[in-house]
């Protein structure tokens, strides 16, 4: 049997540690991506929800909705698709939270932390993998949207900016997911987060213009970070968007950049602190 | 290599209102299998978590493989392996992919990780199922893969937190065999368990822990000796005979301690100093009195009895819960 020389102690220099932090992150990402390859069914299930939502809203409820002022159902696909993209990003934090809770519950975090690897890789690897996952989700949703007849109305730059904004929202929510995933007791509790996530996603301009809601609820919906991203990308896709007169709706792009920045500023330190507390 | 693979002194740890460790002391000689034995909540897992650098102790110090767990955790992490209570293997990857991933995270390089994975699969008897995901494995196989994952660097000290909890008897035997092989290869093993037969079977020395303190430290044999010598058990056929059997046993044993009667199993049991003559005497008396029995025998005390005896004593001496 081979004798294994353990990694040299020179690994402890700052430069070496930074290098390993990147390498370990890549290893964790590779592991996560192997999951997608080996278990595409999980992936399909996660996508199932937005797909069902789009079919429900576009074909069942959408026919009754007058978002363009030109009669019920007209322009609803153009209105709902960007909302759906934003919602799928928003609900993504559930996947992060669930995966983190699973890592904790199955003892993976303990094993990783007892190893000479960079312990940050547990979180950074998760984040990178989730962003890649979100990008794949978006590609699939866009293909479905194109099949249904949706077309982005802006130029290439506008369209790419819209997808960048979507991933920016997803990026910010990684930290919410990590924080919640580390905070909940187990995966079951992480699954129950859906009860919170659902209204968070739905009280927004995703499927319904806020001015069709009662005044106070409309204001909440308009200020929802998901609405900010949805509103901004509707502008970039040149979709019909009825302004309900809320101040925030006139500044959708700024809000779509600003909200995720605020969320990151709040939840990144919280998530880091939570992770550090595992050593308590 | 220091004389002690693990040395801990005065470890204390408090979680909110619970005092998990209250001054634990451990000295594990290199190359031995050392058991931490205690009921649930005794502080075994907390001790392992501190020694594996997962948790910081509130007070006390600990060295593992010659390095301080608090100030030199990087050095410690290169020299230990941990198999926690949950089986930390990725069910979606194949067994080999699991080991290669862990090898890369142990920084031995991808090529070496592949080679090491093959060696470990072979060593732990998983070569035939290397490309199957662990979710298709039996409990014992999953646990062996888990053990293999913590053996990537051939650690100086291997920590096993309840390695056989939840396994069926076949699975336990498999895991025992694997641990025995590792110990024979010179790995120092620290394991926690609440199965006394497991400690008896695997450990060179055992520390009985209760309420975060050492109750006693000894060899498994020594522990058993501590609660007396042999016992004579008589199993009655009729519950009505139990008092008369107890009388016969007490008279023959001639010790200060009265025999114990377990009505559920119809067993009368007495600790005796010199077993065989007492056994012969009891058999003769029962025959003279015409009392039928279904079983009659001499046995050594089990570690369970030693354990209950010792931890009950510790509880009697004072409540340490805050």
Q: What are phi and psi of B66, to 5 degrees?
A: 85, 5
pLDDT at position A196 over 90: no
d(CA A42, CA A36): 8
pLDDT in tens, B92-104: 899 999 999 999 9
pLDDT in tens, B272-286: 777 788 888 888 888
pLDDT at position B50 over 70: yes
Whole-number Cα distances in Å, A280 to A67, B43, B64: 53, 15, 19
Lowest mean pLDDT among A93-97, A262-266, B273-277, B279-283: B273-277
Give the A:B interface size as CB pairs under 8 Å. 97
Residue intervals in chain B for CATH 3.30.70.100? 229-300
At B157, list the tokens.
């000290």
For residue B104, list chain A residues with Cβ-Cβ distance below 8 A.
Answer: 23, 27
Greater confidence, B305 or B78? B78
Element spanning B268, H or E: strand B267-272
For residue B84, list chain A residues with Cβ-Cβ distance below 8 A.
Answer: 107, 110-111
pLDDT at B79: 92
> Residue A87's closest CA among A171, A182, A198?
A198
The class level of CATH for B4-225 reads: alpha beta
Residue of A28, A111, A133, A275 to mutate when probing chain B, most B C-beta within 10 A: A111
**Residue among A24, A114, A280 minimizing CB distance to B56:** A280
Question: Chain B residue with minimal CA distance to A24?
Answer: B105
Confidence band of B59 (pLDDT split at 50, 70, 90): very high
pLDDT at position B257 over 80: no
d(CA B59, CA A143): 59
Write the ipTM. Answer: 0.83
CB contact under 8 A, A38 and B119: no
Question: Chain B residue with minimal CA distance to A4?
Answer: B153
CATH number of B229-300: 3.30.70.100
pLDDT in tens, A4-59: 556 666 567 888 888 889 999 999 999 988 888 887 787 777 778 778 887 888 88
d(CA A111, CA A134): 27
pLDDT at B275: 76
The long-range contacts involving B107-115, CB below 8 angstroms and separated by at least 24 positions, are B107/A7, B107/A11, B107/A20, B107/A23, B107/A116, B107/A117, B108/A4, B108/A7, B108/B152, B108/B153, B112/A4, B113/B152, B115/A2
CB contact under 8 A, B88 and A111: yes
Please state, rounded to an integer, the average pLDDT across all residues of chain A. Answer: 86
High-pLDDT (> 90) share of chain B, %: 49
For residue A35, list chain B residues with Cβ-Cβ distance below 8 A.
Answer: 90, 92-93
Contacts of A267 by beta carbon, 8 Å cutoff, 6+ apart = A172, A175, A176, A178, A179
For residue B74, list chain A residues with Cβ-Cβ distance below 8 A.
Answer: 11-12, 116
A164: closest CA of chain B, how far (Å): 31
pLDDT in tens, A127-175: 999 999 899 889 988 998 998 888 988 889 999 999 999 999 999 999 9
**Residue among B49, B55, B82 minimizing CB distance to A111:** B82
CB contact under 8 A, B101 and A31: yes
pLDDT at position B119 over 90: yes
pLDDT at B194: 82
Q: What are phi and psi of B159, to 5 degrees?
A: -100, 130
Residue of B66, B70, B107 to mutate when probing chain A, most A C-beta within 10 A: B107
**Residue among B55, B133, B153 minimizing CB distance to A6:** B153
CB contact under 8 A, B154 and A3: yes
Alpha helices in B19-168 (DSSP H): 44-51, 73-79, 95-105, 110-123, 139-149
Greater confidence, B242 or B134? B134
Q: Are B281 and B304 in contact (CB under 8 A)?
A: no
Residue intervals in chain B for CATH 3.40.50.300? 4-225
State the CB neighbour count (10 A cutoff) for residue A15: 8
Range of A62-76, B274-288, B293-307 with top mean pLDDT? B274-288
B215: closest CA of chain A, how far (Å): 26
CB contact under 8 A, A114 and B85: no
**Residue among B86, B97, B112 minimizing CB distance to A34:** B97
């Amino acid at each position: 049997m081979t004798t294994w020389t353990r990694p040299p102690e020179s690994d402890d220099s700052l430069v070496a540690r930074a290098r390993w932090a990147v390498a370990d992150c890549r290893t964790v990402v590779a592991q996560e991506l192997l999951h997608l390859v080996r278990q595409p069914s999980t992936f399909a299930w996660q996508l199932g929800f937005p797909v069902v939502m789009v079919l429900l809203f576009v074909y069942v409820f959408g026919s009754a909705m007058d978002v363009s002022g030109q009669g019920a159902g007209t322009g609803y696909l153009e209105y709902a698709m960007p909302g759906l993209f934003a919602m799928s990003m928003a609900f993504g934090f559930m996947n992060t939270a669930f995966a983190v809770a699973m890592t904790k519950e199955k003892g993976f975090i303990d094993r990783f932390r007892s190893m000479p690897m960079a312990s940050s890789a547990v979180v950074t690897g998760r984040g990178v993998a989730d962003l890649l996952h979100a990008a794949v989700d978006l590609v699939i949703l866009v293909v479905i949207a194109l099949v249904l007849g949706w077309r982005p109305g802006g130029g290439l730059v506008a369209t790419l900016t819209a997808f960048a904004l979507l991933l920016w929202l997803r990026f910010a929510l990684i930290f919410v997911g990590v924080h919640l995933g580390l905070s909940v007791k187990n995966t079951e509790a992480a699954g129950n987060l859906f009860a919170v996530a659902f209204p968070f996603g739905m009280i927004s301009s995703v499927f319904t213009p806020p001015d069709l809601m009662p005044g106070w609820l409309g204001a909440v919906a308009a200020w929802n970070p998901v609405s900010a991203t949805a509103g901004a990308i509707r502008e970039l896709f040149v979709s019909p968007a009825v302004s309900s007169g809320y101040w925030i709706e006139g500044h959708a792009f700024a809000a779509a950049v600003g909200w995720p920045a605020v969320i990151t500023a709040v939840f990144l330190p919280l998530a880091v602190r939570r992770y550090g507390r595992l050593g308590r | 290599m220091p004389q002690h693979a693990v040395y801990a002194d005065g470890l204390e740890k408090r979680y909110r209102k619970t005092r998990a460790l209250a001054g634990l002391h451990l000295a594990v000689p290199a190359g031995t299998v050392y058991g931490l034995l205690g009921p649930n909540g005794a502080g075994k897992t907390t001790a392992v978590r501190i020694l594996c650098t997962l948790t910081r102790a509130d007070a006390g110090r600990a060295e593992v493989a010659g390095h301080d767990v608090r100030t030199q955790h990087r050095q410690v992490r290169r020299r230990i392996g941990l198999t926690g209570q949950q089986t930390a293997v990725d069910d979606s990857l194949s067994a080999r992919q699991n080991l290669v991933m862990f090898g890369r995270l142990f920084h031995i390089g991808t090529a070496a990780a592949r080679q090491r994975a093959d060696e470990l699969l072979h060593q732990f008897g998983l070569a035939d199922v290397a490309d199957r995901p662990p979710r298709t494995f039996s409990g014992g196989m999953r646990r062996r893969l888990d053990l293999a994952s913590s053996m990537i660097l051939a650690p100086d000290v291997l920590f096993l937190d309840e390695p056989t909890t939840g396994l069926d008897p076949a699975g336990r035997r498999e895991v025992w065999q694997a641990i025995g092989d590792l110990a024979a290869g010179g790995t120092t093993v620290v394991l926690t368990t609440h199965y006394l037969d497991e400690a008896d079977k695997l450990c060179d020395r055992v520390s009985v822990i209760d309420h975060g303190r050492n109750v006693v430290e000894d060899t498994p044999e020594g522990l058993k000796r501590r609660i007396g010598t042999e016992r004579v058990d008589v199993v009655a056929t009729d519950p009505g005979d139990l008092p008369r059997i107890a009388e016969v046993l007490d008279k023959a044993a001639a010790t200060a301690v009265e025999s114990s009667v377990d009505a559920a199993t119809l067993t009368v049991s007495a600790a005796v100093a010199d077993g065989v003559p007492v056994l012969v005497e009891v058999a003769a008396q029962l025959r003279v009195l015409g009392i039928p029995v279904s079983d009659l025998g001499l046995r050594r005390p089990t570690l369970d009895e030693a354990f209950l005896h010792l931890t009950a004593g510790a509880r009697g001496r004072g409540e340490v819960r805050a």
